[in-house]
Structure 1
Amino acid sequence: MSELKEFLLPDIGSDAADVTEILVSVGDMIKEDQDIISLEGDKASMDVPAAFAGKVVEIKMNVGDSVSEGQVVIIVDVAGSASTDAPVVAPRVVAPVEALSASASVEVVEVCLPDIGGDEVEVTEVLVAVGDIIEADQDILSVEGDKASMDVPAPFAGVVKEIKISAGDKVSEGTLLLMLEVQASGAPVAPVATVASAPVVAEVAAPKAAPAPVVAPTPALAPADIKASPSVRRIAREFDIELGAITATGRKGRISKEDVQKYVKRQLQIAKSGGGTGNGLQVLAYANIDYSKFGDVEIKPLSRIQKISGPTLHRNWVTIPHVTQFDEADITELEAFRKEQNAIAAKKDLGLKISPLVFMMKAVAKALQQYPNFNSALSSDGESIVLKKYFNIGIAVDTPNGLVVPVVKDVLNKGIYDISRELGEISKKARAGKLTAKDMQGGSMTISSLGGIGGTQFTPIVNAPEVAILGVSKSAMKPVWNGTEFKPRLMVPLALSYDHRVIDGADGARFITAINNYLADLRTLIL
C-alpha cells in the first residue's frame, strides 16, 4: 500500500537558491541522506540530501527554478520505510531544559559547525567578535577546505557571548564555534514534553556543500590558494573572470565584491578603447555548416580538458604579443653522458630512466636565474611585473584526453636523479587523469617537448600568466663546421616564445643562447 510523503526544502541558510541540477528521476529508489538536488545561492553551492528513503513519485521543480525553505521538492512513496518527520536543518543547539520553558526570556545556546561536505576545513577568518549583535543568516566565519571556500552563516539572531575557535584552527562537523545569547521565543528548538535534569540536545543535519567547479588547464579559475567568499566566487563565475587576475584589497588578502567590480570596470574601459589585452577584438562567428551533405560524418564531443584549455589558449594567443626565437643546441656530449648514466642506473637497479628533457629543465632553471625577467608575471593592470624567486618548471604532457601541464617544483636545487623520478611520477599521474589543481600551479616557465614524436620546429603558445615557453623538437645528426672541418653533431631544434610586453628581442636571444651553452657543456650548470 502506497504512503506518499512530501519532502520540503529545509533551511539552506539563505532566502532563495537556484536549482542547478536534479540528481534523481521519477521511479528511482532513493536512500535516506542520498543527494537529490544541487542548489546555488549567494553564500554557497550545496547538495540537498533526502530526509527519508522510498520511491520518487513526482518531482516538483525544474533546473533553473528559484526555491526557498518549505517548498515541496519531491513526493516520495515511503511504504515499507520507517516514516519520519521532515527534519529541521540548523546547527546543533544545546540548552538547559529550564531555558526552553515559555517563561524564560533569554538563553545561551551553542552554535556548532554543520555538515559542509568535507571531513575537515581550516578557519580562515572569524567575522564576528564577543559582544556583537548578529542577525540570522549573517556570516560568522569563513572556512576553506579541499573542495571549496565558504562562509558559515548564523542559524539565528543574538548576542555573541564567547568565541570558541580562532583563525587557523582545523574544524569539522559538530565543532563548537561560539556561544550565542538568544531570545527564548526565537530559538529553533523542538518543544519539550517532559522536564529532565540533564540538558536537552537537538541535533540536525545541514545540506552538504558541493565542490566548487574547477576550471584549470593551467592554474585556472579560482585556485584553492585564493581567498574569496562564495558570493564573490559566484560573481566571478557569472562574469567569466579568473580570480587570480584580480588584485585583492580585503582583509588578510581576501578578494571583495568591490575588487571584482573594479576589475570589470577596468576591463570595460580597455574594451571600449580597443587597447590593453585585446579583449575588444571583434571576431566573426563561424558559419553554421551542415557537413553531412558533403558525405558521412561523425560527431565527437570535445574532452573536458579540451573544453577548458581551448578558450585559455585562444585568449593567450590573441592577447599576448608573441615573439618566437629559433635556434639549435649541440647535445652530442649531453647524449653520451645521459646514456652512460642510464647504464649506471640500470646496473644499480635504481628504477629510473634519465630523459633528455631532464637536462632541458635544469638548463631552463639556470637560465631563469641568470635572466630574472623571464621568471615573472605581468600584473593584472599591466603596469608592473611580479618577479618570482622560485624555479618551478611546467612540462606539457600529452594525455588521451588532451594536453595538461603539471609543474615540477624547485628544479634549480634538485639533482638529475630526483628530477627524473619526479618527472616520471607526475607524467604517470597526468596520463591517469589524477592531477589536482595544485599539481598544475606555481610554474615559472613551461617546456613543450615534441622530440619523441617528430618535427623540426613549431611555435609554442605562452602559458599565461607565465611570460615565456620553450618548444623542443626532434634532434638529428647534422654536419657542423668547427672552423677547420665538418663534424657530425647531434643538434636539437629549440623555439623560445615570449611575451614582448615583458621581454625584448635582445633578451630573448641572450636567454636561448644561455640554454644552448648549458646544454652543450653540462659543466656550466654547476657554476
Structure 2
Amino acid sequence: MSELKEFLLPDIGADAADITDILVAVGDTIAEDQDVLTIEGDKASMDVPSSVAGVVKEIKVNVGDSVSEGNLVLIVEVAGSAAAEAPAAAETPAPAEEAAPAAATAVKELCVPDIGGDEVEVTDILVAVGDTITEDQDVITVEGDKASMDVPAPFGGVVKEIKIATGDKVSEGSLILLIEAEGDAPAATPATASAPVEAPKAAPAAAPAAPAKVEVAPVSAAIKASPSVRRIAREFDLDLNAIAASGPKGRTTKEDVQKFVKAQLQAAKNGGGAGAGGLAVAASPKVDFAKFGEVEVKELSRIQKISGPALHRNWVTIPHVTQFDEADITDLEVFRKEQNAIAAKQDLGVKISPLVFMMKAVAKALALYPNFNSSLSEDGQSLILKKYYNIGIAVDTPNGLVVPVVKDVLNKGIYDICREIGEISKKARAGKLTSKDMQGGSMTISSLGGIGGTQFTPIVNAPEVAILGVSKSAMKPLWNGKEFEPRLMVPLALSYDHRVIDGADGARFITAVNNYLSDLRTLIL
C-alpha cells in the first residue's frame, strides 16, 4: 500500500524567495531531509530539505518561481503502513527492532581540516561511495601553490556521499564526504505503536536515497549560482567553473566573482599584461617539431606550471642586480667536521651541513642591513621592514623546486636548525609541505654546491628583495702576503631588487656574509 503526500515549503525566514535550482526529478527516490531545491532571497541562499521520503510523482514549481511558506513543492508517493509489512499484529514490534541498527548509526560530515589557510585544488579522490574507511585513512589529495598533501579521515565508517570532485577548490571547513559512522544512539524500542509509522521512512533512506542524491549532486554543483551571479559572469565573460565558490554547499556568490576579478586585475598590474609592467614581446613561433624527427610530449608538473609564471613575473618586473664574491670556508670546514665527529660519538642523530652556517650568516647580515629584510608595499611607495629572521631554502624535488622556510634562524642553535632542515627536506621530497611551511620568508638561499657549477644568477623570490646563490666550493691558491696557500673557497652570488637596494649596500651585505663564513667567531659578536 502507498499514498500520495504533499511537501509544502517550510518557514524560510523571509516573505518570499526565488527558486534557483531544482535538485530532483520525477521518478527520483528521495530520503527524508534530502535537499530537493535551492532558493535565494535578498541576501541569502539556502537548500530546502524534504520532510517526506518516497518517490517523486510530480514537481509543482519551476526554476525562477517566487515562493513563500506553505507553497506546494512536490507530490511524493510514500510507502504505506504496516498492512504491507506485517501479516499479524503480534509481529508488529519486529520492524521496530530491525530498525534499531539503523538508528544506532549516524551520518557525519567530513570537512577539510586546517591546511594552512589557503585555498587548494583537489587532485585525487581516494575513496568511492560504498567504501568502508578507517580512522586516519587518506580520502583525498589536495595541492596548493607548491605543496601536495593527503587528507585523512578523523573517523571511520561507510562513505555515503562524495561532496567534491577532482579539480574543485577547497579550503578549511569545506565539506568533503558524508560518512555513515557507528553511533551510540539507543535502540528505538520504547514506543511500539509508533514503529509502523517510522518504518516506511527508514526503508527508502536505507538504499535508494543515497544513489539518487549522488546522481544529481554533480549537476547542481556545476551550476550553483544565482541568476544575478550568472548575469555578472556573462557580462564580464567569466567562466564560473574557474571561480572558487565560498557560499553554502559550494554556491558561487557575488563576492566570489568580485574577488576573482580583483585578483585578475592585480595579476595584470603586477606584470601579467604587456601594458602593466610586463614586457611587450612577440609570441613564440609555432613549430611542428615532429617534422624533424621523433618527439615526445611531456606535461609540466603542477609545481612547474605554478612556479613558471611566478618566476617570469619576478624576472620581468624586478630590476635584478647580481653581486659575486668568494668566501674562504677553510676553517669553517675544519670546525664542521670536528663537530660532526663529536655528534656521531654522542649519537645526537644530526649531521651539520655547510648550509646551516650560510643560514646563520645570512640571518646575521639581515639584522645588520634591515633593507634586505623587507618587502615593497603593493603600491611600491613604501618598505615593509620585517623584525623576524626566517630563511627560505630552495629544495630540489622530483616534481620541481620548492622553498620551505625555517623560522627564527637568528635565535636558533646549529643543531636545532640541522634537525629542522632534515624534517622539511623530507616533507618536501615526499610532497607533504603545506602552505604554512613555505610562508613568511625574509630571504632565500639557493645552494647548488652539492651538484656542481662555479656560478649562477638566482632570481629574486618575490615578495622578498634578495636571494643568495651558493655554488660548489673548490680548493684555490690564495695569497696571504708572503706566499700562495691552498684555501677552500665557495662562490656566492647575491641577486637583489635594485628598487630597494643599491650597489653599495649589495656589496656591503655580501661582504658581511663572507666575513661571517670566513671567521665563525664573528657570528657570536
TM class by smaller structure: 0.5 to 0.7
Q: 2:513 and 2:145 mapped to 1: Cα distance?
A: 29
Local SS of the residue matching 2:295: coil
Aligned residue number for residue 329 of structure 1: 327
Q: 2:437 and 2:144 mapped to 1: Cα distance?
A: 14
TM-score, normalised with respect to structure 1: 0.56
Aligned residue number for residue 443 of structure 1: 441
Letter in 1 for 2:30: D
Q: 1:90 and 1:442 mapped to 2: Cα distance?
A: 43
Spell out the pairing of 1:11-26 with structure 2 (5 A cutoff): none
Aligned residue number for residue 54 of structure 1: none
Decide which of 362, 365, 368 is 2:366's aligned counterpart. 368
Local SS of the residue matching 2:493: strand
Q: CA deviation at 1:70?
A: 2.7
Spell out the pairing of 1:269-308 with structure 2 (5 A cutoff): 278-279=277-278, 281-308=279-306
Decide which of 376, 385, 388 is 1:387's aligned counterpart. 385
Decide which of 59, 70, 81 is 1:185's aligned counterpart. 70
- Identity within the alignment, %: 66
Q: Indicate how the Cα distance of structure 1 residues 425 and 215 shifts in structure 2: closer, same or farther if over 3 A, else same.
A: closer
Letter in 1 for 2:23: G
Spell out the pairing of 1:110-509 with structure 2 (5 A cutoff): 136=41, 138=43, 185=70, 212-213=120-121, 215-217=144-146, 278-279=277-278, 281-509=279-507
Q: 1:302 and 1:461 mapped to 2: Cα distance?
A: 20
Q: Indicate how the Cα distance of structure 1 residues 360 and 262 shifts in structure 2: closer, same or farther if over 3 A, else same.
A: same
Q: Deviations over 1:17-52 (max 9, x none)?
A: xxxxxxxxxxxxxxxxxxxxxxxxxxxxxxxxxxxx
Q: Deviations over 1:145-166 (max 9, x none)?
A: xxxxxxxx5558xxxxxxxxxx
Local SS of the residue matching 2:334: helix
Q: Deviations over 1:385-425 (max 9, x none)?
A: 21111111111111111111111111111000000010011
Q: Quick check: which has more Rg, 1 or 2? A: 2
Letter in 2 for 1:428: K
Q: CA deviation at 1:301?
A: 1.6
Letter in 1 for 2:422: G
8 Å CA contact 2:147, 2:433 repeated in 1: no
Q: Indicate how the Cα distance of structure 1 residues 302 and 261 shifts in structure 2: closer, same or farther if over 3 A, else same.
A: closer
8 Å CA contact 2:120, 2:171 repeated in 1: no
Local SS of the residue matching 1:323: strand
Letter in 2 for 1:387: L
Decide which of 30, 46, 50 is 1:85's aligned counterpart. 30
Local SS of the residue matching 1:455: coil
Between Structure 1 and Structure 2, the one with more helix by share is 2
Q: 2:258 and 2:392 mapped to 1: Cα distance?
A: 33
Q: Indicate how the Cα distance of structure 1 residues 402 and 261 shifts in structure 2: closer, same or farther if over 3 A, else same.
A: closer
Q: Indicate how the Cα distance of structure 1 residues 223 and 519 shifts in structure 2: closer, same or farther if over 3 A, else same.
A: farther
8 Å CA contact 1:223, 1:437 repeated in 2: no
Aligned residue number for residue 63 of structure 1: none
Q: Deviations over 1:489-509 (max 9, x none)?
A: 110000000111111111111
Any gaps of 5 or more consecutive residues in structure 1? Answer: 1-12, 14-66, 76-82, 92-133, 140-152, 157-182, 195-200, 244-254
Q: 1:483 and 1:223 mapped to 2: Cα distance?
A: 64
Q: 1:259 and 1:518 mapped to 2: Cα distance?
A: 46
Q: CA deviation at 1:345?
A: 0.2
Q: CA deviation at 1:217?
A: 3.2
Q: 1:406 and 1:320 mapped to 2: Cα distance?
A: 22
Q: 1:319 and 1:413 mapped to 2: Cα distance?
A: 34
8 Å CA contact 2:446, 2:468 repeated in 1: yes
8 Å CA contact 1:89, 1:206 repeated in 2: no
Letter in 2 for 1:185: G
